[in-house]
């Protein structure tokens, strides 16, 4: 048997074991993911982008610039990762819709090869946002109620390229994202100018998709869905997209309110320490998509 055939034989055996584990339990096992990529340290070199206005952020406008994104369907027999965050500690999570689309199985990792089985998924009809339900959860975030202003700080946490990573940014404006290809949608989004990445790299932030964007007080102000390495920009779905799903969802389990705030004041000097804390607490978690 050649190496290629042996690889696929082992892969299919692993998928069968995963399927059995997910169907029979609230927990699931996943095969080890690729070895972490080592990245250099230090502040990144990113363009100096200025806010496109002053004061309170303007509302979505017909004339907002449009960004076109080409999307591809996930490959058969593949495993991909994204980021999810807890919005109810009894097992309700938010992630990006493009992370959950085309998946046969979804798992919220709680250890290297073990996680919570995702039992139900609800995807937004237009926005790049999904709700996930599991039998157990983690300490949950709350959504910000204050109006957003140009130059507001943003703190992004998740798993870019499958590894722990964080981004500090400033809010500079609005756009419309027009997604073509395997996924078709139009969505009003926020635009963030990236200032600091930890670890430092000039690579794609793919994998941080679905992660939370917090304001300095630790409240959710966006869901990270896309980025531009060359331009040093990140794009986020609006919290209102999550609120829409919460109103429409018919599978929601009873809410268990958080006794304490997940995270207190954030700042640009040590926000990566907050990221480590949030991932350790599983308020920010890695979500694994398995395609058979």
Segment 254-277, tens digit of pLDDT:
455 555 567 878 999 999 999 999
3-class DSSP assignment, residue 170: strand
pLDDT band per the 50, 70, 90 thresholds, residue 36: very low
What percentage of the chain exceeds 70 in pLDDT?
A: 79
CB 104 within 8 A of CB 76: no
* pLDDT exceeds cutoff 60 at 45: no
Is the bond into 199 cis (omega within 30 degrees of 0)?
Answer: yes
CB 5 within 8 A of CB 13: no
Task: Say what the pLDDT of residue 21 is.
Answer: 42
Is-above-0.85 flag for pTM? no
Question: Where is average pLDDT lowest: 33-47, 227-241, 248-262?
Answer: 33-47
User: What rounded mean pLDDT belongs to the chain?
Assistant: 83
Q: What DSSP element (H or E) covers 6?
A: helix 3-24
Higher pLDDT, 191 or 73: 191
Question: Where is average pLDDT lowest: 3-12, 49-58, 235-244?
Answer: 3-12
List Cα–Cα distances, 89 to 21, 139, 233, in angstroms: 23, 5, 31
Higher pLDDT, 200 or 29: 200
Question: Where is average pLDDT lowest: 34-38, 126-130, 228-232, 243-247?
Answer: 34-38
* Of 137, 27, 157, 33, the residue nearest 83 (C-alpha): 157
For the segment 106-139, what is each residue's pLDDT rounded down to a tens digit? Answer: 999 999 889 999 999 999 999 999 999 999 999 9
The tokens 């960004």 sit on which residue? Answer: 67
List Cα–Cα distances, 56 to 27, 51, 180, 188, 248, in angstroms: 44, 11, 31, 17, 29
182-197 in b/e burial notation, b at 16+ Cβ within 10 A? Answer: ebebebbbbbbbbbbb
Q: What DSSP element (H or E) covers 85?
A: strand 78-88
Task: Say what the pLDDT of residue 40 is.
Answer: 39
Tell me how long the chain is: 292
pLDDT band per the 50, 70, 90 thresholds, residue 280: very high
* Of 110, 102, 112, the residue nearest 84 (C-alpha): 110
Q: C-alpha angle 174/47/226, rounded to 5°?
A: 45
CATH number for 66-291 (one of 2.40.10.120, 3.40.630.40, 3.30.1130.10, 1.10.1370.30): it is: 2.40.10.120
> Distance between CA 95 and CA 83 in Å, rounded?
6
How large is the average pLDDT for residues 275-286?
Answer: 96
Residue ranges per structural domain of the chain: 66-291
């Amino acid at each position: 048997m050649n190496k290629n055939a042996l690889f696929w034989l082992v892969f299919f055996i692993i998928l069968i074991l995963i399927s059995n584990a997910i169907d029979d339990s609230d927990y699931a096992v996943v095969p080890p993911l690729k070895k972490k990529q080592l990245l250099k340290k230090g502040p990144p070199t990113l363009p100096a982008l200025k806010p496109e206005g002053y004061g309170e952020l303007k509302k979505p406008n017909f004339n907002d610039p449009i960004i076109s994104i080409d999307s591809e369907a996930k490959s058969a027999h593949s495993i991909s990762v994204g980021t999810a965050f807890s919005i109810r500690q009894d097992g309700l999570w938010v992630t990006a819709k493009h992370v959950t689309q085309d998946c046969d199985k979804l798992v919220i990792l709680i250890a290297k090869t073990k996680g919570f089985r995702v039992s139900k998924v609800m995807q937004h009809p237009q926005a790049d946002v999904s709700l996930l339900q599991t039998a157990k959860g983690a300490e949950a975030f709350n959504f910000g109620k204050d109006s957003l202003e140009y130059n507001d700080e943003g703190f992004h946490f998740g798993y870019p390229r499958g590894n722990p990573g964080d981004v500090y940014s400033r809010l500079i404006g609005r756009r419309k994202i027009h997604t073509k290809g395997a996924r078709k949608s139009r969505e009003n989004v926020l635009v963030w100018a990236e200032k600091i990445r930890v670890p430092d790299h000039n690579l794609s932030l793919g994998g941080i998709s679905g992660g939370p964007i917090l304001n300095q007080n630790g409240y959710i102000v966006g869901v990270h869905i896309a980025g531009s390495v060359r331009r040093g920009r990140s794009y986020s779905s609006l919290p209102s997209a999550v609120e829409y799903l919460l109103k429409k969802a018919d599978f929601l389990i009873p809410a268990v309110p958080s006794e304490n705030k997940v995270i207190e004041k954030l700042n640009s000097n040590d926000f990566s320490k907050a990221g480590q804390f949030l991932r350790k607490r599983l308020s920010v978690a890695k979500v694994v998509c398995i395609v058979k």
